[in-house]
Structure 1
């Protein structure tokens, strides 16, 4: 009987390798928990691999080939999957984001990547990498804009963003770039493609003073939470941790302006940028 065919990494690679993993596991007569036991991971983790919400790392791929007798199939394809256009600390989160049914995101200082315009993103990347060639900045911006195309679907994923007022007031790229960026955010809200709330300075202390958080939900897998810092990030699946971060986001929603009032503030700040009336 022929073995499984090596996967094409350009065509939904994680979903494909997840389907192959489920097929091989079931052929071996193992449950998700039974496969996870020798890997020292939970059955739900195996389920996330099979659903494509988690990336299969090489150390697991090698062991899975041994357990399931798949003749190096998962090791070979894992190496192909490791080639990502995203930084190592963000690659797995970006891949999960692409298949999420719902995304809830809070950033304390920036407009989130999915809502950014090219000029805003370029200003950010240039500030992070002041000495790299322009071509590298252009490539980074193109990758970010490609990632944002998941919003081209009129309904999926549900995107709910809480913007800190600091993200509105900091003139990333200058007044013209900020006016364009905020118009884009307002347009997404007007088109009901994103729910946007603003957490104003007047809210005072809040539940996420320590940093950012992103919650992702999926059709066939448990939710995940992504937390990040400077050149670092971690995808979390522990149910208690995800629940705690979900509560944090709920508290942010409660403390923020309503979507209607938030849109009015965003449009007011946009006009300020357009007319040179930035508030300090």
Structure 2
């Protein structure tokens, strides 16, 4: 098997930050270890050294070893190229279906799974633009502002995970999603003027989707049931639901019908006090025009 010997810049960890395996994620470790082992066996069966194979797929030798050892999560393009170079007949490329399920932290995957199963999502957010509404640059700026600071690799992984959750908007049967945001977060120029403008434009874009309702709670409004913090409500096709509130039930997820009714009452009151969807989009448009 021939290997391209041209001098090319091979990808390293600096080019693909945030793709480390979480050692506490047992399922993720098992999947990535299995894929790495299969990759190594096929490479050795093809008589290719790690360095030669790496050059053929555009990756550095060290990255190849780490992927084979189950210490790095392979990207889809890596698996596709590896499949072609090793003549795997699509088996390595198909491994992406399993890999993509574990590429994000366990807690994020669990949240994304719930959001993907829901037929209705209701969110009140008081301190920031909700993750389902954030642009990549806005999310990155928020993560980079944390103290103590996250390692840059972790920042990129968290940004990618947050963006992946937004795939619910592209589903064949997307859930009905309702957001209520306090006025202050959209006014905060997170990431600078350009990132701020892009975030406001994105709010308008998502807020105009047929399955999305966006409302803004004016700062001058009277006290409401959300002053204690964030509220989330997810309802599923079988009639069950799960909710969480920073200001009730110790902030833990709840499924008890009586407690869920309390959150629904609070959320309904918040919606009634917020600006209407039309007024809210007009507010964002006005704010965009002032930036």
TM-score (norm 1): 0.62
Compared CA separation, residues 214 and 84, structure 1 to 2 (3 A): farther
Unaligned runs of 5+ in 1: 1-8, 11-82, 274-280
Residue in 2 aligned with 1:85?
A: 104
Cα RMSD after superposing both structures: 2.4
Partner of 1:121: 139
Give, in angstroms, the shift of residue 152 of structure 1.
1.0
Shift of 1:154: 6.0
Q: 2:162 aligns with which of 129, 144, 165?
A: 144
The aligned counterpart of 1:218 is 236
d(CA) in 2 for partners of 1:85, 1:132: 16
Q: What's 1:61 paired with?
A: none
Task: Please report how far the alpha carbon of residue 95 of structure 1 lies from its aligned counterpart in structure 2 after TM superposition.
Answer: 2.5
The number of equivalent residue pairs is 191
Q: How many angstroms does 1:207 deviate by?
A: 1.3
Give, in whole Å, the separation in 1 of the partners of 2:269 and 2:182. 14
How far is 1:128 from its partner? 1.9
Give me the whole-angstrom Cα distance separating, in 2, the residues matched to 1:130 and 1:181: 25
Inter-partner Cα distance in structure 1 for 2:207 and 2:147: 31
Show structure 1 runs of 4+ deviating over 6 A: none
Larger Rg: 2
Q: Does 1:177 align with 2:202?
A: no
Q: Secondary structure of the equivalent of 2:117? A: coil
**Residues 43-81 of structure 1, C-alpha deviation per residue, up to 9 Å, x if partnerless?**
xxxxxxxxxxxxxxxxxxxxxxxxxxxxxxxxxxxxxxx
**Residue 233 of structure 2: SS of its match in structure 1?**
strand
Q: Which moved more, 1:207-216 or 1:232-241?
A: 232-241
Distance 2:236 2:103 in 1: 21
1:154–1:193 Cα contact (<8 Å) kept = no
Q: Give, in angstroms, the shift of residue 130 of structure 1.
A: 5.1
Task: Report whether the alignment pairs 1:160 with 2:151.
Answer: no
Aligned counterparts of 1:182 and 1:125: Cα–Cα separation in 2: 19
Structure 2 residue aligned with 1:186: 204
Q: Which of 93, 100, 106 in structure 1 is aligned with 2:124?
A: 106
What residue is the counterpart of 2:267 in the other structure? Answer: 249
Aligned match of 2:255 in 220, 233, 237?
A: 237
Q: CA deviation at 1:218?
A: 0.3
**Distance in 1 between residues matched to 2:103 and 2:159, nearest whole Å:** 15
1:37-52 mapped onto 2 (5 Å cutoff): none
TM-score when normalising by structure 2: 0.60
Structure 2: gaps (5+ residues): 1-26, 29-101
Partner of 1:96: 114
What SS class does the counterpart of residue 240 from structure 2 fall into? coil
Counterpart of 1:98 in 2: which secondary structure?
helix
Once the two structures are superposed, residues 168-201 of structure 1 have per-residue CA deviations (whole angstroms, 9 ceiling, x without a partner) of: 1122212221211111111112232410000001
Offset of residue 93 of structure 1: 3.7
**Distance in 2 between the 1:241 and 1:226 partners?**
10
Distance 1:143 1:93, change over 3 A: closer
Does the CA-based 8 Å contact 1:179-1:271 persist in structure 2?
A: no
Work out the CA distance in 2 between the residues paired with 1:190 and 1:84.
30
